[in-house]
Amino acid sequence: MLFAGLVVGAIVVFVNSTDEKAAEKYSPKNVPTCASIAQQIPGLPQGRPIEVPAGITPEFGWTCTLTDYEDPKAVHLNYSVYDGDSGLSEGTGTEDARKEFAGFVNGEPVSLGFGEEAVWSAVLPIGAVRPGVQCELHIRDGNAVLGVGAFDASGEGTSMADCRATVEAAIRPFYDALQPR
């Protein structure tokens, strides 16, 4: 009986360790387009989404900007899926996503009630072209890192509170739209 228990236990450990990539929450084979996701998020600027594919690390995902070029306000959506083959670690996609998310350690951690961890990025000034504010909120959820950023280059009168309110209004619908079906 003890032998049978050890054999079953060994099989369970072996199966769990070899199926870990299969257990990842987000699939790099089913990355939706930014345009399809943006349609599900109310209150975004009306401009056409401009999508930039992910580079070498991560291999799967995109960054896109939604803005009307006549409007000094824009929203950025970022979605990156890791599958464990990106070279960030020798582990799983979740471990790769943790390493990527660790780049936001200088930010302000926040509890959203969804996703595994979230952080506001350190404030980035955007005054090179004209004065304004920029803010970004990043979430790690399993093997994915997603974020919403906003900037307002309207000049005087722009506020960080308004920037954060824009991001907070978009983050939950963005997260919900990306959930595997």
Q: Which tokens go with 8?
A: 């079953």
Q: How many CA atoms lie within 13 A of 152 on its CB side?
A: 16
pLDDT the model gives residue 44: 85
Q: Which tokens go with 148?
A: 């919403």
Does the pLDDT at position 83 exceed 50?
yes
% of the chain with per-residue pLDDT over 70: 73
The model carries a pTM of 0.79
**Placement of tokens 């989404």 in the chain:** 49
Task: For residue 65, give the nearest of 79, 76, 73, 52 by alpha carbon.
Answer: 76
* pLDDT tens digits, one per residue of 21-54: 457 999 888 888 888 899 999 988 877 777 877 6
pLDDT the model gives residue 54: 66
DSSP states of 64-132 as a string?
EEEE-TTSSEEEEEEEEE--S-SSS-SS-HHHHHHHHHGGGTTSEEE--SSSSEEEEPPP---TTTS--
Q: Which domains does the chain show, CATH number per domain?
A: 26-178 (3.40.1000)
Asked if 99 and 105 count as a contact pair (C-beta separation under 8 A), the reply is no
